[in-house]
Amino acid sequence: MEPIVAMEFVERTMKNNKDIVGVIFIMTIDQTKLSTSNTPFAMIDDYTVIKGEKEILFTMHTVFRVVEIKQIAENSRLWEVQLTIIDDNDPQLSTLTNRIKEEVRGSTGWHRMGQLMLNVGHFNQVEELYQELLKNASTDSDRAHIYHQLGTLQHQQGKYPEVAKFYEKSLEIKRKTLPEDDVSLTATYSNIGGVYKNMGEYSKALEFYEKSLKIYEISLPPNHPDLATSYNNIATTYYAMGEYLKALEFYEKALRIRAISLPPNHPLLVTSYNNIGEVYRNMGEYSKTLEFSEKALKIKEISLPPNHPDLATSYSNIGGVHDSMGEYSKALSYLEKSLIIKQKSFPSTHPSIKNNTWKIGDQSFSNKIPFYTYPHRLDIIPQERIFTNTLNLVSISLSITNEICSISDSILDRLCIDMLPRIHANIKSPILESISMKRILLTANYPNLTEFQIFLFP
């Protein structure tokens, strides 16, 4: 399509609806990179009703690589996406396709379709499919598989009594025909263990997880990813029981396998690092918590966009660790990084923004870190009432001398000219020092003032 025609479509739609953004896709087609036996597009300008638009028809399975996404400088509601066409011989596409084939397995096309529908969350449709397949199943193997899949479906919806019923039917059929150490039993044992764990029956969960692990240890190579998953399942159960040393033992086993068998930026490594860090946090070993949390963050910073919510979660968690260690300036820095991302990613009423804001404005921070220590914090003072209830304008160093520091003239000017006239009605308990106190108190009326603390210079 001609660029001018595409732009007219986008601008007309944006004009009629102010709540949407426009996206222009610019496609680059290099025919030298396409197979000569497969042309995934056709020029249809001679057949279209509206002549002159140079329309192109693509087949349903045409694949493009996203090269660049950028916001148009002249219009903040308009985005441009650069795409380039690829074919089946592209190495990255081949790798992705092979991976999807591994995840979507089944003895027939219908079974593979059911697995795919499960993966993408089409629960109603997949239940209809499996019930129909169950009616027509001709072998015990097929029936066992379908019961297992129906259990997985109920598990994803949190219907645990139904989950147990279907998994146990599957297990009953399998154990009639298979040896006790058959590898196909592992998934059913693991899934039943997961049901019991979600129901809080941890001893029963461990019983089935350990049956699965025993088979895996016999049948799989020592660095197989499924073995890591089995160790991780057992670790999460011990963690839920509060047995942190046992949890740590199995989390570390899972991590050792994943570090060998997975790419260095794989999300499961992030999960392992976070899990181990959380165990150390519950054990009060905050330096070890920080070590593993930062390893997880490093992977996220490489593999995720800079404003991804998962980054905000990591920054918030690390901020909490620094707070527990008494490193309040570092804690504040990470919590603010988290808040900035959440403000860009979520609406202002989102619970995570409120939670992050309350952490930053918490009494513990307001009494330890004054707002002017970080000049950019002045910009967020007016945003939440909690920031201004107890407003700390005194810095006490954490050295042995506990030296009191005064506010610089530039920060004091900004406070008195720009900030205090906007927030004065919220302030209840200011913390002041003697040099700046007079100017601050005379800048505005404080109708809700109940008390204030004054620090005198020696």
Q: In this predicted model, what pLDDT tens digit does every residue of 141-190 receive, in sequence order?
A: 889 989 989 998 998 888 888 898 899 899 999 988 888 889 989 988 99
Model pLDDT, residue 400: 37
Of residues 37 and 218, more confidently modeled: 218
The residues of the chain that CATH labels 1.25.40.10 are 270-345
pLDDT band at 409 (very low <50, low <70, confident <90, very high): confident
* Residue from 394, 393, 404, 400 nearest 458 by CA: 404
pLDDT tens-digit profile of 11-26?
A: 888 888 888 889 999 9
More confident residue, 375 or 334: 334
Task: Kindly indicate the confidence band of residue 74, based on its pLDDT and cuts at 50, 70 and 90.
Answer: confident
Q: Which two tokens stand for residue 324?
A: 């527990």
Closest to 26 (Cα-Cα) out of 77, 61, 64 = 64
* Domain 270-345 falls under CATH 1.25.40.10: yes
As to burial, measured by CB atoms within 10 angstroms (0-12 exposed, 13-18 middle, 19+ buried), residue 281 is buried
pLDDT at residue number 366 = 47
* 52-77 mean pLDDT: 84
Compare 91 and 289 and report the one with higher pLDDT: 289
Sequence length of the chain is 458
* Token pair belonging to 276: 């181990």
